[in-house]
Structure formats: structure tokens, C-alpha cells
């Protein structure tokens, strides 16, 4: 009987140290997983390859910010109000479930609840009381005078709240990109789907800040001919990036460019191109901040198509939200070719009126007023810190000034490629997993690409002869000193040792034999071809650096 | 006037994108910091160098586990009860303060409170009500049926709770080491000391599992002559690792070995050896789990000596605690040279009695009983899940059996080098910071070692001539394609561009001039010597790989 692929992959993953269910000795906790020795290294290698693409090739900056995030930040970003799942409770055992998980296609929640046809998966009593539940983990900062906070649902807000500093760091020019790689949290109501739906997960996000009137990308000509694998919700199509933008299948160059980067990156990790597609979000699927979004979906023989990367045009949503909430100047400037002089109406706030009226908020309100366009209304209103402030007419005057303008103020738009690292890692394992029958025995092999494989080379003495062992250990250490991860093994037959390495995706095995002592050469066996070649010991380091050149 | 060094370093760090106070636009939150573009890359480089040492040179495994940790794990590890600070509250404004921060040397808390001599730093009212406050951030997992949890105070417990799987991964041999690099959390009552005392911080921990009767290290002979910088609480001494162990200044080889690794690593990051020392914990300073501990203390001209790394012998404390709490078999085996046959008294649990008595816990209790040494007591007691179970005599029998033993069961001891990455990063900045006066102007320079500098090379066209710009951009991209981070700059004079790079610790600057177009050579300027040499464009990649060879 053919075992289920998920079961096979996870059995291998646990047995060989890729993935462990967390806190298993304490009965486990749904939605939490550990990466064991090989999994953690695979993850590091994937993240380093990702960084190489975004930081070195695409010139993005990386920053890293706390996971604990104060309430105000996530109130402004919309997560306090919008990051929710509709939940239903069991009328008997009081357990809670995510409504979406229980509905069949075409069913409408309210109707099913009225019919009492939705039953508790645990105790079979009818479900009731649909209500939104926020999915953020909450905590408090400090003791005594506590401050409400959440664990971040995405790394992106840490970038947006620093936008003005990052813009200055880039010497006040657009476009530029900033990335963050790290943990995100989502307190799933009832996590299923194993490692694909975790409550604490690893993400890699890039926020590319661009001029809203110029969504081109300076390197688009490099990818114009690159064939994207798209799915328009009815059929799969292959189309070049250039054509997709021209035919308005994809909204702009910047989106299409990062779709190319993403496809290329994932396929370089060993993802099967036949199980890869971009699917465009329908309007009613879009997140609260998104204007257009393309998901990378990968196909699993167990789970079907699963979203692993989202590439969204978040427009000016987030930066605007933080400007509204804090009054910080987070605008950028689009320079004019030649400065112009304009007659302009300007609001001049009167601090002697604003001060007594708004006390501690007066400074921020002054800044917001100065940034506003004057209007004819007798009473201005301002949104700040989630409150509405009425600004009386006597607290400012409107004057006409002549102003030399060197550029136009604007809030940049954001293109966001957001990668779910854990899902990608699972799919790398599933897509590279092969089971073959060798001499009547089942034999497992992971076809991991050399630049992400946790172990680059197994190093074996042919037999446990002292001189061979010594030589093998020397080669092992020499490779490690050059940053090449190896696995020294003297246990069992050579065939057995090859099998151990094949099973964890090690691309090469080096065997030290008696010829080594005479000629100074070793055999290097290639996992995929199973061919062996003799190489001089002294050339080994160079040989591996060449083969692993893609490694960060 | 000479400005304070901390102020100088932090001003530079913020202006040039190393460190930003978190959530500044929302008024900031004490104890949280962001790493900006250069800081995040410096951090990555330091962590990669750390990994190279521990994973490649020392053959440790890396794993990565969740930050959210269920109550039971941290109850067993002792953190729920012991990870506390004594706190006093203000009698008037009700703010809370860490007592230790308010006491002068020699003062005793209870006496000062009785004398009402401890005043609130904010409102000057007397302080009162000393009580321990747990320093873990708490949260809950799930909705409805919630599960109490904390953010991990250390990464180590994620390793201990997987010990049995990791031991199997190492094919059931001791010694071996496992590391984790990631976030830790400590809900400080009143964080001071800027970036040195953060509520969310980055750590790198290694847990080295060794035989309690054999605390030697297989590579100790490599470091025997290495001179350690020790401080015995009265004077500083230099002593070789070998001598320190022989004279019992350091308890064992394993501790001394990781002290050598640590000193070598930190000095390679640019830490000033004159501001480096190991200090041994006095008995009353030891953490609840530690048997012996050496701190690396680094000297700051602002803060004085500050603990940055702790190297502790945690003995069998943690693994034993998790065995007691869960009944999991986490023992290792010390093999005998030849198997022996022994007469042995053995506890044979009776499941027909245990089952009805302990229900769901019966299985774990059976395992714990089997692992116990029989005793003459009429009533056995067991600790399990924090509860005490009385085991009646009729629920087991004691029989004498003949047993062939291939080895002895034992709980391994743990040597733990634990690094505070954020503190180390701050000290790298302070120790490499130089201020010089050049032509009457103040000039800042960071002497970061090449292998950790965020930018390896500045790349400049001498003037903004199209052909020079094109050539410089080509060189820039070529280096980036080989994994070498560069900074392309065509703004301002060459002197100004050198200054920008010196200030952020970039070790090399490459200038493309008219000679480049004729001879295919560029000038490479060395930050520390300010000397320039001409190098062929085609040799540049090789030149940098040579100079940056220490990079992970």
C-alpha cells in the first residue's frame, strides 16, 4: 500500500531531525513545531539564499524589530479590528471553532446556524454564537502600570513605523526596499494542516517603497522575457512578465518583477515547476490593506494547492495609517526637474490657542494642521490617535504665501512580497522526496539542491583502519574550516552510509580508501547520478566551493 | 567638552542606521530597540561567525524552537518560581521598581523600607511592599479552552525538552552540543541602561551534553596554551587554560575549553582585550540551575564592567527536571568495555493496581517506577507534573533479577555558553569607535573587523562621468553577485565618500578612475592604513574573498 505523502515526509522529517512537534514530552501543543538539526540548517540556508536575492541582487536593506508590539501600532495598522476569524462556539462543550473550516462550498454560515446543521466536531452538539475573534496573541509590558501589547502578526509593521528613518538612510530617494526575516504569530482557533498552519511561524517579508505614479522597476528589462506560471482561476497560463504587464494581467512592473524573483527563487530550492502557480486574489479575498495580490500556490499530493507567498500592492495604506495616528512626517518628495514658485494657501496654526486647548497633543496637531490643505470649511476636523479632534477656526489662520517648491510631497506605495518560510520548507521536502525500491527494499532520497542541503558532503573512511580514519577526519575538518558542512561517518557498509546521506539530501559523499594514501585522491560520489569520480584531496575545497557557489 | 561615549556611540548608531529606539513615533517603549539596515547586517554577520565556530569547528547541531512556551515546561525548569526580581511599590503613585536598582552597596532592603529611606524615583513618596515579581511575559494559547504560556526567558529549554531526540540524532553518543540562536524575553520592571537591558533580546546559546564523570573535552589540547584573561574578584590574572584547570581555578576542561572559544570569538569581533575579563560567580550569585559559572565582562567607559556571556555548568538540573515532570526516558548510557551480569533488585509495577489508582498518569508513573532504584521504604513517593504521588506497596513487587548490562544509565551534565548578542553588538561599537580630529573637523571611525563589517567595500566612480559610472556599477554588481556586500556612492568628493564609509566601519573603498578605462585597474583604499593600492578589476572578487575569508 502506498502511504500518504504527508505521513511519509513527516515520518522522515522526525526520524532524521528535520521537524519535531514542539513540547511533545508535555503532550504537545497544536500549531507549534521545532526544527531539528537538519531542519534548522535547511531553514538557515533557505533564508541566506533569500537574503542573497533581496539584499545583494536587489539592493534591499534588512532591519530587525521586536515581536512584541504595543497596542497603538496594531490599532493604527488595522489589525486590532480586522485580523479576525469568525468563530462559532459549541452549545454544549463550549469549545470554539473557526467557522470557515466547517462550511462546505456554497454553505452560508447564518443559514446553517439557523438550521442547526453545523455540529461540534468534538461532541456533536449544535454550534452557535458566531462572533469575530482576534487572532493576535496578547501580552502586557511592564509591571504595575502595564501597557497592552500583541505579538506581531507580520514583520511588516516594524518596517512601516521606521519608514521616515529608512527613507533618510536611503538619502531620500525612491524606490528602495526593506526586508525583515523573523517570527510572526497567529493564535489560530483550531489549527489543522500540521506544519502548514502554525501559531508561531517564520516569515521573510520585503516592503518595496515606490512612487505611486511610477510603478516601474529599474531592472524590469532583465526579467521581461521570463515566463511566469499564472492561474486565472479557471486555467493555467504561461506568459512572459513583459506581456503580462502589457496586457494588464498584472497591474504593474514592480509587482511582476517580484513575481519573477519569487518564482526563480522557489524553483531554485527544488520546488517542482509543475506544482507551482501564481493565483490572483479576487476582490473579496483581499486583505484589508491590499489593492492587488498574487499568491504563489504550491501543490501538495496531500493538501492540494496551498498559498506559500503573497505578493501584494499595499498602496499607501500603512504609512498613511501611521501618519494619521501619530502626526509624524513620513512623506517623501518627488523632485521637480526645475523648482517652481507657486501661490499657495497655507494653514498657520496658533500655538497660543492650540496649546491650552489640546495640551500634550498640541504639537502633533500643529504638525498635522501644517501638512493639511486649507479648506473653506468653518471647522476643521483631524483624526489623531484614533480620536477625532475639532479644530476651531480661531486656532489658525489661512494665509497666501509664495512658495518655491523643489518637489511634490507624497506617500509612497508599497509592493510586498511576503514569504511563509515554514510552508516553503515543507514543500521543499515534499517535492524533493523520492521513494525507490532498491534490491527489494524501500529507499528514500531527498533531492535537495546543493546550495540549500544541510550537509554538503558525507566523509567516510572506506574501512575503520587507523590511517584511513585519520585521513578522513583531516579532510572533514579542512572542509569545515572552509565553511562547508560535512558529516563524518565510519559506521556500517559504504552502501549504508550512502543511504543515510541520500535520505537527508546530501549531494556528495567523499570516500577515503587505500588509494588515497598512495595517490592523494578520494572518490566523490554524486547523489543524483550515483557516479563516482576521483579528485585530488588538495582540490576538494575548491571543488565544493564551485559546486556550492549559490550558497549565501 | 568630550561627550559621553554612550551618547556618542548611540548618536552615530541612530544616525547611520545601526540602532533605532523601537516604536519611537508612538512615544517609544522602554527596553525595546530595532536594528536598522547596518545594525541588522552586523548582527547577522556576528551570528554567522558564531555559527561557524560552534557548528563547523565544534560540530554542534543547531535547532530552533518556538518562543511561546507552555506553563508546564517553565514550571518544571524552575522559571515560574525562580525567575523573579524583588519589587517595591510606591505608596503614592503605585509605580513599581526593582529593589536592587535602588539600593546602595551595603544597604539591606528590609532595613531601608522600615526606615522609609527608599523613595520613589518619580514622586519621592516612600516605597513599600517588597514582593517577588516574575519576569516572564505571559500569554495564552487558543480561544475558549485557553492554555497558559510564557515567552521563553532563554532558548535553552527548547533544547532540553528535545534532549532524547537529539541524543538519538547523535546516534546515542556523548559528548555532543546543540545550539539555538534567537529571541529571549524578560519583562524588566524598570529597564535602564539603554540597549544593555532589553525586554526582548537576541541570544545565542550552546548546550554541551557531557558525561558527569568525564568533563574533559576532545579538543582541549588545541587550547591548552591559550591565555585566558581571568578576574578573581580582587585582581586580574592571565593564565593558560591548561594551568587554570590543573590548579582548579576552573572546575573542568569542558568549561575552560568554551571559555577559550568565547574569548577568541569576542576578540575576533574587535573587542578590546584590555576591556575583557572572565569573572567567576560567587556561590550566592549562581542562578537556580548552575553549579559553577564564569561571566565574560566587558568594560564600557560609560557603564563600567558589564556581563555579556555566561558560561555555566548546569549539571543535570534541567534534564532531570523534565524527566521528573513528564516521566520521559531522557537518560543516556555509558557503555562498559565488556558487558557485565549483575544480580539486581527491580521494581515490577502492577498495572492492574496502578491503572485504577492513577488513571491517565498511570503509564508515566509505571515508567518512573521502573527507572527507580528499589528501596526498603514501605511507601514510595514520586514527583510528577509538580505533584507528589504516594505509591502504595501493593502496586508493585520487588524481584531479584539477573541482568546483562552493556552500560550504565545516567543523566548527562550540561556546559552552557550563553551569549547576549545585543550587548556584544553594543560593545563592538563602543570598542571600535574612534574620534579623531582631521583638518580641524571631528571625524568618526568604526574599526570593525572585515569579516563582520556590514559593508565590505564602498564602490565609487571618481567623477560622475558616464563611462566611470557604468564601470563602477558593473564592479559593484559583480562583487554583490559573489556575496560581497557593497555600497555604491557617487555623491560628493572622494574624501566625503571615504568619511561616510569610515564612519560605518567599511574596511575597503574601491575607486574607478580614468586609468581604470585604460589599464583595467582600480584603487583599493584600506580604512585602517588609509593606504591605496591598484588592483586589476578581474582580481577584485578573489581579493575580497581572501580578505573576508573569516565570513561564515
Distance from CA of B376 to the nearest CA of A (A): 31
- As averages over each run of 10 residues, the pLDDT of chain B (552 residues) reads 85 97 95 98 97 94 98 96 91 86 85 87 89 94 88 97 97 96 94 91 98 94 96 90 96 96 98 97 78 94 96 94 95 90 86 86 84 72 79 85 87 97 98 90 93 97 95 95 94 95 97 95 96 95 78 40
**Residue B38 backbone dihedrals phi, psi, to 5 degrees:** -80, -35
Locus of grid cell 480620536: A387
Is the domain defined by B455-547 classed in CATH 3.40.50.800?
yes
Q: Are A350 and A396 in contact (CB under 8 A)?
A: yes
The reply to whether residue A147 touches residue B481, judged by beta carbons under 8 angstroms, is: no
Q: Provide the β-strand partners of residue B271.
A: none
Q: Is the CB of A438 inside 8 Å of chain B's CB atoms?
A: no
Report the alpha-carbon distance of residue A202 to residue A34 in Å, rounded. 11
The reply to whether residue B17 touches residue A69, judged by beta carbons under 8 angstroms, is: no
**Residue B193 backbone dihedrals phi, psi, to 5 degrees:** 60, 30
The reply to whether residue A94 touches residue B483, judged by beta carbons under 8 angstroms, is: no
The reply to whether residue A26 touches residue B199, judged by beta carbons under 8 angstroms, is: no
Chain A residues whose beta carbon lies within 8 Å of the beta carbon of residue B44: 51, 62
Chain B residues whose beta carbon lies within 8 Å of the beta carbon of residue A451: none
Q: Is the CB of A55 inside 8 Å of chain B's CB atoms?
A: yes
Q: Is the CB of A40 inside 8 Å of chain B's CB atoms?
A: yes
pLDDT of residue A122: 85
Report the alpha-carbon distance of residue A7 to residue A15 in Å, rounded. 12
**Residue A150: closest C-alpha in chain B:** B139
* Cβ-nearest to B40 among A17, A40, A63: A63
**3-state SS class at A136:** coil
Distance from CA of B453 to the nearest CA of A (A): 14
Chain A residues whose beta carbon lies within 8 Å of the beta carbon of residue B456: none
Report the alpha-carbon distance of residue B164 to residue B160 in Å, rounded. 8
Query: Which residues between 134 and 153 in chain B have a beta carbon less than 8 angstroms from any beta carbon of chain A?
Result: 137-145, 147, 151
* Cβ-nearest to A162 among B20, B133, B143: B20
C-alpha pair distances (Å), B205 with each of A22, B154, B316: 19, 8, 17
Is the domain defined by A334-410 classed in CATH 3.30.720?
yes
pLDDT of residue A62: 98
Report the alpha-carbon distance of residue A199 to residue A136 in Å, rounded. 10
Q: Is the CB of B52 inside 8 Å of chain A's CB atoms?
A: yes
The reply to whether residue A178 touches residue B37, judged by beta carbons under 8 angstroms, is: yes
Distance from CA of A483 to the nearest CA of B (A): 6
Q: Are B486 and B479 in contact (CB under 8 A)?
A: yes
Chain A residues whose beta carbon lies within 8 Å of the beta carbon of residue B31: 141
Q: Are B289 and B78 in contact (CB under 8 A)?
A: yes
Q: Residue B431 corresponds to which cell in the numbers above?
A: 570598542
pLDDT of residue B117: 86
pLDDT of residue B75: 97
Chain A residues whose beta carbon lies within 8 Å of the beta carbon of residue B95: 144-145
Chain A residues whose beta carbon lies within 8 Å of the beta carbon of residue B161: 23-26
In eight-state DSSP terms, residue B189 is S
**Residue B72: closest C-alpha in chain A:** A26
pLDDT of residue A549: 60
Query: Which residues between 210 and 229 in chain B have a beta carbon less than 8 angstroms from any beta carbon of chain A?
Result: none
Report the alpha-carbon distance of residue A68 to residue B22 in Å, rounded. 10
Q: Is the dihedral of CA A240, A246, A247, A248 positive or negative?
A: positive
The C-alpha angle A311, A315, A317, rounded to 5 degrees, equals: 115
C-alpha pair distances (Å), B48 with each of A338, A542, B56, B424: 47, 21, 11, 14
Report the alpha-carbon distance of residue B183 to residue B161 in Å, rounded. 18
**3-state SS class at B151:** strand
Element at B277 (helix H, strand E): strand B276-280
pLDDT of residue A403: 82
Q: Which of A25, A27, A120 to mutate to test the interface with B (most CBs of B within 10 A)?
A: A25
- Residues of chain B by 3-state class (helix, strand, coil), percent to 5: 35, 35, 30
The reply to whether residue A34 touches residue B158, judged by beta carbons under 8 angstroms, is: yes
Which candidate, B219, B194, B174, places its Cα nearest to that of B54? B219
Complex confidence, ipTM: 0.89
Chain A residues whose beta carbon lies within 8 Å of the beta carbon of residue B367: none
Q: Are A281 and A293 in contact (CB under 8 A)?
A: yes
Q: Are B534 and B523 in contact (CB under 8 A)?
A: yes
**Residue B61: closest C-alpha in chain A:** A37
- As averages over each run of 10 residues, the pLDDT of chain A (552 residues) reads 85 97 95 98 97 94 98 96 91 86 85 87 89 94 88 97 97 96 94 91 98 94 96 90 96 96 98 97 78 94 96 94 94 90 86 86 84 71 79 85 87 97 98 90 93 97 95 95 94 94 97 95 96 95 78 40
Q: Residue A26 corresponds to which cell in the numbers above?
A: 508535555
Q: Is the CB of A325 inside 8 Å of chain B's CB atoms?
A: yes
The Cα diameter of chain B in Å comes to 97
**3-state SS class at B445:** strand
Report the alpha-carbon distance of residue A151 to residue A65 in Å, rounded. 12
Distance from CA of A102 to the nearest CA of B (A): 16
Q: Is the CB of B130 inside 8 Å of chain A's CB atoms?
A: no
What CATH number has the domain spanning A5-80+155-317+415-422? 3.30.930.10
**Residue A40: closest C-alpha in chain B:** B63
Distance from CA of A439 to the nearest CA of B (A): 26
**Residue A70 backbone dihedrals phi, psi, to 5 degrees:** -65, 150
* Cβ-nearest to A68 among B26, B158, B200: B200
In chain A, domain spans:
5-80+155-317+415-422, 334-410, 455-547
Report the alpha-carbon distance of residue A138 to residue A154 in Å, rounded. 14
Q: Is the CB of B367 inside 8 Å of chain A's CB atoms?
A: no
The reply to whether residue B141 touches residue A137, judged by beta carbons under 8 angstroms, is: yes
The C-alpha angle A111, A115, A116, rounded to 5 degrees, equals: 115
pLDDT of residue B54: 97
Which candidate, A391, A267, A383, A236, places its Cα nearest to that of A320? A383
Q: Is the CB of B28 inside 8 Å of chain A's CB atoms?
A: no
In A247-374, alpha helices (H):
253-268, 317-326, 351-358, 362-371
Q: Residue B293 corresponds to which cell in the numbers above?
A: 559559572
Which candidate, A48, A301, A67, places its Cα nearest to that of A186? A67
Amino acid at each position: 500500500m502506498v502511504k500518504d505523502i504527508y505521513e511519509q515526509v513527516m515520518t522522515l522529517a522526525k526520524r532524521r531531525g528535520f521537524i519535531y512537534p514542539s513540547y511533545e514530552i508535555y503532550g504537545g501543543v497544536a500549531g507549534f513545531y521545532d526544527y531539528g538539526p537538519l531542519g534548522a540548517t535547511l531553514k538557515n540556508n533557505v533564508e541566506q539564499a533569500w537574503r542573497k536575492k533581496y539584499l545583494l541582487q536587489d539592493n534591499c536593506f534588512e532591519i530587525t524589530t521586536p515581536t512584541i508590539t504595543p497596542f497603538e501600532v496594531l490599532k493604527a495598522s488595522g489589525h486590532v479590528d480586522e485580523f479576525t476569524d469568525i468563530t462559532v462556539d459549541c452549545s454544549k462543550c463550549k469549545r470554539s471553532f473557526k467557522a470557515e473550516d466547517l462550511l462546505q462550498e456554497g454553505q452560508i454560515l447564518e443559514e446553517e446556524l439557523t438550521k442547526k446543521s453545523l455540529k461540534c466536531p468534538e461532541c456533536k452538539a449544535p454550534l452557535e454564537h458566531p462572533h469575530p475573534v482576534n487572532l493576535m496573541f496578547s501580552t502586557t509590558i511592564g509591571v504595575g502600570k502595564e501597557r497592552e501589547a500583541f505579538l506581531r502578526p507580520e514583520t511588516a509593521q516594524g518596517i512601516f513605523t521606521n519608514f521616515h528613518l529608512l527613507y533618510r538612510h536611503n538619502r531620500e530617494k525612491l524606490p528602495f526596499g526593506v526586508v525583515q526575516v523573523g517570527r510572526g504569530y497567529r493564535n489560530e482557533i483550531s489549527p489543522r494542516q500540521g506544519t502548514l498552519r502554525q501559531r508561531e511561524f517564520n516569515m521573510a517579508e520585503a516592503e518595496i517603497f515606490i512612487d505611486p505614479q511610477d510603478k516601474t522597476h529599474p531592472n524590469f528589462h532583465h526579467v521581461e522575457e521570463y515566463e511566469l506560471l499564472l492561474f486565472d482561476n479557471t486555467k493555467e497560463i504561461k506568459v512572459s512578465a513583459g506581456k503580462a504587464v502589457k496586457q494588464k494581467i498584472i497591474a504593474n512592473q514592480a509587482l511582476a518583477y517580484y513575481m519573477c524573483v519569487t518564482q526563480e527563487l522557489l524553483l531554485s530550492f527544488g520546488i517542482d515547476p509543475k506544482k507551482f502557480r501564481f493565483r490572483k486574489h479576487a476582490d473579496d479575498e483581499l486583505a484589508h490593506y491590499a489593492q492587488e495580490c498574487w499568491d504563489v500556490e504550491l501543490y501538495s499530493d496531500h493538501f492540494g494547492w496551498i498559498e506559500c507567498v503573497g505578493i501584494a500592492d499595499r498602496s499607501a495604506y500603512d504609512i498613511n495609517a501611521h501618519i494619521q495616528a501619530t502626526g509624524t512626517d513620513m512623506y517623501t518628495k518627488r523632485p521637480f526637474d526645475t523648482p517652481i514658485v507657486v501661490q499657495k494657501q497655507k494653514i498657520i496654526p496658533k500655538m497660543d490657542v492650540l496649546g491650552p486647548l489640546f495640551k500634550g497633543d498640541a504639537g502633533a496637531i500643529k504638525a498635522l494642521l501644517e501638512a493639511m490643505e486649507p479648506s473653506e470649511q468653518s471647522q476643521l476636523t483631524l483624526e489623531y490617535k484614533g480620536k477625532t479632534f475639532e479644530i476651531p477656526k480661531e486656532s489658525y489662520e489661512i494665509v497666501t504665501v509664495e512658495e518655491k517648491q523643489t518637489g511634490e510631497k507624497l506617500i509612497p506605495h508599497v509592493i510586498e512580497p511576503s514569504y511563509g518560510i515554514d510552508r516553503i520548507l515543507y514543500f521543499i521536502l515534499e517535492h524533493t522526496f523520492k521513494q525507490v525500491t532498491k534490491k527489494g527494499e524501500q529507499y528514500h532520497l531527498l533531492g535537495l539542491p546543493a546550495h540549500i542541503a544541510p550537509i554538503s558532503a558525507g566523509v567516510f573512511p572506506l574501512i575503520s583502519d587507523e590511517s584511513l580514519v585519520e585521513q578522513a577526519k583531516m579532510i572533514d575538518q579542512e572542509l569545515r574550516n572552509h565553511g562547508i558542512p560535512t558529516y563524518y561517518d565510519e559506521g556500517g557498509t559504504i552502501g549504508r552510509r550512502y543511504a543515510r546521506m541520500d535520505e537527508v539530501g546530501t549531494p556528495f559523499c567523499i570516500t577515503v580508501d587505500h588509494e588515497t594514501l598512495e595517490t592523494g585522491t578520494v572518490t566523490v560520489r554524486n547523489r543524483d547520478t550515483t557516479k563516482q569520480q576521483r579528485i585530488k584531496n588538495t582540490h576538494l575545497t575548491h571543488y565544493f566551493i564551485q559546486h556550492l557557489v549559490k550558497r549565501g
